[in-house]
């Protein structure tokens, strides 16, 4: 159970912002607001200590350079840096084609494109950072049993082991943020509709140890079933660069049989796709699988409510941008809230929230469309499309300004960036 730092009267708890969902996006938002002195309360159904176990979630996330700046500004990065693998180069290739794209970080400066960070390490860093913030608190495990949003504020009934004799308490806030992920009860109860569709693909995730050093190069290899990404991890501190996170996209109807294979048969299937460019390989630890789909909310705001992260938009992992877009939401919403607060305005009124939605809507929509289009274009073996893809990669390689634009986009440095992503204080 999360540590409690402050006690409230049995009648309830007054706060400025209530965040429902304490995952990576919700906890980062709580840190951004709490570090700036905003009273913030996070409610999550999951005990945060459960998410720190190596067997809880085998995924790792690509943290673009702009997102790393957010984590650095919030004093989360120092705990992550020793375990974060810099992405120095990106190589994009397709099946057996001779054409490929090679992005070299030196073409844009001295900084890497971003970093690969294991999700459990990010959760751990966020958990400990929140404990250091006097104006931030977390109630977990706990759930919101009732939520009343009205013109003057928000009232939530919370069920947990932290309240009165019946384990319940009331929280009053100016603004509530839905950050529960794809399945957001806060969003659904607000009547916000979503558009979604399945890709009929499954993402198989595992960690692979390999004989040769990956030299901190991220490889995205497109196969007919979908992208096969080999993403550099730091691995053993005494022998860095010999471990990668694998995101293997497979047809949804075939993935269960692949997951059910014994160790030897799974290894053979993996080797046939992985290749031998890193020498001998070995799966380290468990394997996970996740259905892949796209969804987006028709609006990211309602009365006294804002949605962030996957509660607002969830995309295909083809470009590794899901968490990065959530962190952009965090940086933008925190900036909007703090700007309003400094001016003595209502942080949860329609004007404040409309600024947040207008700021993020185009960027999120563009990324959803881009990842959807890339997946549809590359997840097939249709000859005319293969020719078009090869010509496209060749054209990007031959046009340095276009190539540099795509590299800066991968670093998260394109579009109207919030202050935190421009190395400026909130």
Question: Residue 243: which CATH number?
Answer: 3.30.9.10
120 with 218, same domain: the answer is no
- The pLDDT score that the predictor gives to residue 56 is 62
| 88 occurs within a structural domain | no
171 with 240, same domain: the answer is no
Give the pLDDT band (50/70/90) at residue 6. very low
- The pLDDT score that the predictor gives to residue 355 is 98
275 with 127, same domain: the answer is no
Burial of 308 (0-12, 13-18, 19+ CB in 10 A): buried
222 with 169, same domain: the answer is no
Comparison of pLDDT for 387 and 333, the residue scoring more:
333
204 with 239, same domain: the answer is yes
Q: Is this prediction's pTM over 0.85? A: yes
Q: How many distinct structural domains can be found in the chain?
A: 2
Residue 7, pLDDT above cutoff 70 = no
Span 113-141, average pLDDT: 95
pLDDT digits (tens, 9 = 90+) for 98-114: 778 899 999 999 999 99
| 405 occurs within a structural domain | no
124 with 69, same domain: the answer is yes
| 395 occurs within a structural domain | no
76 with 59, same domain: the answer is yes
| 78 occurs within a structural domain | yes
Average pLDDT over the chain reads: 91
Span 281-291, average pLDDT: 93
176 with 306, same domain: the answer is yes
- Number of Cβ within 10 Å of residue 375's Cβ equals 23
How do strand 89-94 and strand 226-233 relate by DSSP bridges?
Answer: unpaired
CA distances from 422 to 31, 97, 134, 208, 366 (A): 18, 38, 26, 34, 21
How do strand 305-307 and strand 243-251 relate by DSSP bridges?
Answer: unpaired
| Domain extent for 141 | 13-83+116-195+295-380
26 with 42, same domain: the answer is yes
| 8 occurs within a structural domain | no
Residue 206, pLDDT above cutoff 80 = yes
Distance, in Å, from the CA atom of 401 to the CA atom of 418, rounded to the nearest integer, reads 25
Three-class SS of residue 128? helix
Domain boundary among 292, 322, 353: 292
How much of the chain, in percent, has pLDDT values that exceed 90?
77
């Amino acid at each position: 159970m999360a540590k409690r730092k402050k006690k409230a009267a049995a009648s309830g708890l007054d706060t400025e912002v209530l965040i429902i969902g304490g995952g990576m996006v919700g906890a980062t938002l709580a840190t951004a607001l709490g570090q700036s002195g905003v009273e913030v309360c996070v409610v999550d159904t999951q005990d945060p200590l459960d998410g720190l176990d190596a067997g809880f979630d085998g995924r790792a996330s690509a943290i673009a350079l702009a997102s790393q700046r957010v984590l650095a500004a919030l004093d989360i990065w120092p705990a992550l840096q020793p375990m974060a693998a810099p992405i120095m180069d990106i190589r994009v290739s397709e099946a057996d084609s001779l054409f490929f794209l090679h992005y070299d970080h030196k073409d844009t400066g001295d900084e890497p494109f971003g970093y690969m960070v294991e999700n459990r390490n990010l959760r751990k860093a966020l958990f400990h950072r929140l404990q250091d913030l006097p104006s931030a608190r977390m109630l977990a495990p706990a759930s919101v049993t009732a939520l009343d949003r009205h013109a003057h504020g928000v009232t939530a009934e919370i069920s947990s082991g932290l309240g009165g004799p019946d384990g319940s308490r009331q929280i009053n806030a100016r603004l509530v943020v839905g950050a529960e992920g794809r399945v957001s009860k806060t969003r659904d109860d607000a009547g916000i509709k979503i558009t979604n569709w399945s890709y009929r693909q499954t993402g198989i995730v595992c960690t692979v140890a390999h004989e040769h050093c990956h030299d901190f190069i991220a490889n995205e290899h497109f196969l007919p079933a979908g992208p096969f990404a080999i993403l550099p991890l730091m691995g053993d501190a005494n022998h860095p660069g010999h471990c990668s996170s694998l995101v293997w996209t497979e047809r949804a109807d075939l993935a269960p049989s692949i997951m059910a294979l014994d160790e030897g048969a799974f290894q053979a299937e993996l080797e046939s796709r992985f290749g031998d460019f890193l020498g001998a390989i070995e799966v380290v630890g468990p394997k996970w699988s996740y259905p892949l789909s796209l969804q987006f909310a028709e609006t990211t705001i309602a009365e006294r409510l804002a949605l962030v992260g996957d509660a607002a938009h969830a995309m295909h992992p083809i470009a590794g941008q899901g968490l990065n877009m959530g962190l952009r939401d965090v940086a933008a919403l925190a900036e909007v809230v703090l700007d309003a607060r400094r001016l003595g305005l209502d942080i949860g009124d329609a004007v404040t929230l409309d600024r947040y939605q207008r700021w993020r809507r185009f960027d999120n929509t563009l990324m959803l469309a881009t990842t959807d289009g890339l997946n549809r274009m590359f997840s097939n073996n249709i000859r005319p499309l293969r020719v078009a893809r090869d010509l496209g990669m060749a054209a990007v390689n031959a046009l340095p300004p276009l190539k540099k634009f795509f590299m800066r986009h991968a670093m998260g440095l394109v579009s109207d960036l919030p202050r935190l992503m421009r190395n400026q204080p909130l």
